[in-house]
Amino acid sequence: MMKLQKRHLLENIIYAAIWLIAFLLPIIGNHFSFYSEKWYPFNWNMIWGLWLSILPFFVIFIINNYFLAPFLLFRKKYITYTLSVICVVLIILGVYSFVPHHPGNFQGDRMPKRIEKPSWQRMSPNVSSSKINELTETLDDDIEPKKPMEGKPFPFPGIMMMGPFYSRFIIAILVVGFNIAIKLLFKSLRDEETMKELERHNLQSELEYLKYQINPHFFMNTLNNIHALVDIDAEKAKKTIVELSKMMRYVLYESSNKTILLSREIRFLNNYIGLMRLRYTEKVNIEVTMPTYFPEVQIPPLLFISFVENAFKHGVSYQTDSFIHVHMRLEGEQLLFQCSNSNWKKQDEQHRGIGLENIRKRLKLLFGDDYMLSIDEVAESFNVLLIIPIVYD
């Protein structure tokens, strides 16, 4: 929201700067003409006249920028907007054309005529001040008074103003077009910022939804393991419940964070694998290699548990020797995770749970294209390689 307000403020600052320059140009031009070869004395009547010629375009801009464009153009009322712009331009320029606006009518003052710069100013910069005053008085006597226009209207004012009216009309349309171009530019920037904000909200909502899917799925598998242990070994079942309580604490209180320390995620995985070890015999070869040094690295929570779950679910056979290998290591700015297990399921039945599908969605939402997920299934094994970027605290 703050970015949108800043863009709106920047747009208005640009408009203010452009019109400030437009209204300052007559003063700047009059000032620099004093130093040119053809010299005019500084005269406010001329400046007021130029300001008055700019005024109708400024009024057209105000009406278009703050009324017509927001309420008609941006609401897709294109025909109404076009007709409204034309009517406003014709009305304002029509009023301007028939209202007396000659600079000499403001104060009835004399208008200076353009004369050659005096030779004393060009040739001798060291002229005495008394001589300058004398020459200046002589220069003032050469200025002819402007003949008043009152009482001498044009016989056909509409025809006399036809040429200037067309030129002003074209300038007015260009002002409107320039105004619309700037407004559309800033509108596209604001729309883009709004879409990004909406995408961030949608991303957060979808991630939360995926987490809520992961948690019941994970606990369902774990409770099934405990149920199987109750009748086989009561002591192991008790230890399993203790391990489960630790994992529940992690899932309930820490997995809601956007990122979590890598050390806590590794502890969670070790607890889960330790729980699963209690269930299986030595016929299942379980190898786990985790980093021994834990830097302040942040990763998304519950990112690897689905792979480990599926490894135990689909990679263990009670009749034949099986294996599950889980490895994780840090390489520079990346985290590499590998999970391999023996493959005892048919290809059309392998890994149909919601875990892997959710993990694909999460990876896409979290990292975009800045990750690599490789799943390789062969006759004897199922291999997963995940490489993600890491963030140091």
Query: Quick one: 259 and 352 in the same domain?
Result: yes
261, 298 contact by CB (below 8 A): yes
Query: Quick one: 267 and 124 in the same domain?
Result: no
Least confident of 23-27, 167-171, 287-291: 23-27
CA–CA distance from 309 to each of 305, 306, 339, 378 (Å)?
6, 5, 10, 19
The distance of Cα 285 from the centroid of its chain, to the nearest Å, equals 51
Least confident of 17-26, 66-75, 248-257: 248-257
**Last residue of some domain: 195, 230, 248?**
195
Query: Quick one: 212 and 190 in the same domain?
Result: no
**Last residue of some domain: 195, 226, 243?**
195
- The answer to the question of residue 200 being in a domain is no
Could you tell me the two tokens for 29? 């031009």
- What pLDDT score does 150 carry? 45
Query: Quick one: 268 and 328 in the same domain?
Result: yes
Over residues 267-275, the mean pLDDT reads: 86
- What pLDDT score does 290 carry? 92
Tokens 């990876």 belong to 363
Q: What is the pLDDT of residues 287-304, one digit of tens each?
A: 999 988 777 888 888 889
Q: What is the CA radius of gyration of the chain?
A: 41
Query: Quick one: 76 and 183 in the same domain?
Result: yes
Residue 61 has pLDDT above 90, yes or no: yes
Least confident of 49-58, 104-113, 319-328, 351-360: 104-113
- What pLDDT score does 380 carry? 84
Query: Quick one: 112 and 240 in the same domain?
Result: no
Residues with Cβ within 8 Å of residue 297, at least 6 apart in sequence: 261, 262, 330, 335, 390, 391, 392, 393
**Last residue of some domain: 195, 220, 246?**
195
Residue 270 has pLDDT above 50, yes or no: yes
- What pLDDT score does 384 carry? 94
- What pLDDT score does 206 carry? 65
Residue 205 has pLDDT above 60, yes or no: yes
Query: Quick one: 147 and 217 in the same domain?
Result: no
Tokens 């009547």 belong to 45
Rounded to whole angstroms, the Cα distance separating 274 from 367 reads 30
Residue 336 has pLDDT above 70, yes or no: yes
CATH code at position 388:
3.30.565.10
- Residue ranges making up the domain that contains 271: 206-392
- What pLDDT score does 191 carry? 86
Q: What is the pLDDT of residues 79-111, one digit of tens each?
A: 999 999 999 999 999 888 877 655 444 444 444
Query: Quick one: 225 and 115 in the same domain?
Result: no
Residue 148 has pLDDT above 50, yes or no: no
Q: How confident is the model at residue 306 (pLDDT cuts 50, 70, 90)?
A: confident
Query: Quick one: 213 and 189 in the same domain?
Result: no
Residue 232 has pLDDT above 60, yes or no: yes
Total domains, the chain: 2
Least confident of 15-24, 306-315, 349-358: 349-358
Centre a 10 Å sphere on the Cβ of residue 235 and count the other Cβ atoms it contains. 9
